[in-house]
Amino acid sequence: MPMSKDEKKDEKKRPAAEAEATSPPERGVRTVKTGEAPTGTKASHGVTKTMEESEARQRLKSDVEQEVARPGVIKMPSFEPAQKGPPPPPPSVKWTPTAPSPTVTVPSPVGPAPVAPSAPAPAPPVVKPSGDGKLQLPEWYVPDPKDPFPISPDDVQIDFYTIQEPYAYVLITYNNRDKETTYRVIEPSLTEEERKILKFVEHTMVDLLDADPIELEKQSQKDFLSAKFDEILYDYAIVLGDDEQKEAASKKRLLYYVFRDFIGEGRIDVVTRDDLIEDISCDGAHQPVFLYHRKYESIKSTLKFADDAELDSFVIRMAQRAGKHISIAEPILDATLRDGSRIQATLSREVSAHGSTFTIRKFRSEPFTPPDLVRFGTMSAEILAYWWIAIQHGASAIYAGGTASGKTTGLNAILLFIPPQMKIVSIEDTRELSLPHPNWIAGITRSGFGPRDKDGRQMGEIDMFQLLRNALRQRPEYIIVGEVRGKEAYNLFQAMATGHAAYGTMHADSVDAVIHRLESDPINIPRSLLEALDVVSIQIQTRVGGKRVRRTKQLSEIVGLDPHTREILTNEVFRWQPKDDSFRFSGVSYVLERIQVEKGMTPQQMKQEVENRVEIIKYMIKHQVRNYKDVARLVTSYYKDPATTMERVQKDQPWT
Ligand SMILES: Nc1ncnc2c1ncn2[C@@H]1O[C@H](COP(=O)(O)OP(=O)(O)OP(=O)(O)O)[C@@H](O)[C@H]1O
Ligand SMILES: [Mg+2]
Same domain, 114 and 198: no
326 or 10, greater pLDDT: 326
Same domain, 114 and 251: no
Same domain, 464 and 578: yes
Calpha distance 12→3 (Å, rounded): 12
Last residue of a domain, one of 212, 241, 267: 267
Name the closest-CA residue to atom 12, ligand 1. Answer: 406
pLDDT score at 125: 34
Domain presence at residue 169? no
| Ligand 1 pocket check for 409: Cβ under 6 Å | yes
Q: Which ligand is nearest to the CA of 280?
A: 1
The pTM score is 0.75
Same domain, 258 and 377: no
- Predicted confidence (pLDDT) per residue in 24-82, tens digit: 334 567 776 654 554 445 543 332 222 333 343 344 333 333 333 333 232 222 222 23
Q: What is the DSSP string of 592-655?
A: HHHHHHHTT--HHHHHHHHHHHHHHHHHHHHTT--SHHHHHHHHHHHHH-HHHHHHHHHTT---
pLDDT score at 137: 83
Domain presence at residue 181? no
Same domain, 200 and 75: no
Domain presence at residue 138? no
* Terminal Cα-to-Cα distance of the chain (whole angstroms): 27
Same domain, 252 and 374: no
Name the closest-CA residue to atom 10, ligand 1. Answer: 406
User: Probe ligand 1: pick from 280, 365, 409, 503, max atoms within 8 Å of CB?
Assistant: 409
Radius of gyration, CA atoms only, the chain: 29
Same domain, 585 and 436: yes
| Ligand 1 pocket check for 376: Cβ under 6 Å | yes
Domain presence at residue 332? no
Ligand 1 center from residue 405 Cα (angstroms): 5
Same domain, 486 and 572: yes
- Predicted confidence (pLDDT) per residue in 298-333, tens digit: 999 999 998 999 999 999 999 988 888 899 888 999
Same domain, 196 and 103: no
Residue in 97, 34, 93, 41 with CA at minimum distance from that of residue 68:
93
Same domain, 543 and 398: yes
Strand partners, 444: 428
Last residue of a domain, one of 240, 267, 294: 267
Last residue of a domain, one of 225, 247, 267: 267
| Ligand 1 pocket check for 378: Cβ under 6 Å | yes
Domain presence at residue 147? no
132 or 37, greater pLDDT: 132
pLDDT score at 94: 27
| Ligand 1 pocket check for 364: Cβ under 6 Å | yes
Domain presence at residue 522? yes
CA-CA-CA-CA torsion sign (475, 481, 484, 488): negative
CA-CA-CA-CA torsion sign (551, 110, 610, 2): negative
276 or 135, greater pLDDT: 276
Domain presence at residue 276? no
Same domain, 98 and 213: no
pLDDT score at 619: 96
User: Probe ligand 1: pick from 274, 279, 408, 412, max atoms within 8 Å of CB?
Assistant: 408
Domain presence at residue 530? yes
- Predicted confidence (pLDDT) per residue in 455-502, tens digit: 777 777 787 777 788 878 888 999 999 999 887 888 889 889 988 999
- Predicted confidence (pLDDT) per residue in 422-457, tens digit: 999 998 888 889 899 999 988 888 777 777 777 777
Whole domain around residue 529: which residue ranges? 1-119+366-449+459-656
Ligand 1 center from residue 273 Cα (angstroms): 17
Q: Give pairs for 231-238: CB < 8 Å, separation 24+.
A: 232/201, 232/204, 232/205, 232/208, 233/201, 236/200, 236/204, 238/197, 238/200, 238/201
Same domain, 75 and 217: no
Name the closest-CA residue to atom 14, ligand 1. Answer: 404
Ligand 2 center from residue 550 Cα (angstroms): 14
Ligand 2 center from residue 407 Cα (angstroms): 5
Q: What confidence category does residue 563 fall into, taking pLDDT thresholds of 50, 70 and 90?
A: confident
| Ligand 1 pocket check for 404: Cβ under 6 Å | yes
Q: What confidence category does residue 188 fall into, taking pLDDT thresholds of 50, 70 and 90?
A: very high
Pairing of strands 568-577, 29-31: parallel
Domain count, the chain: 2
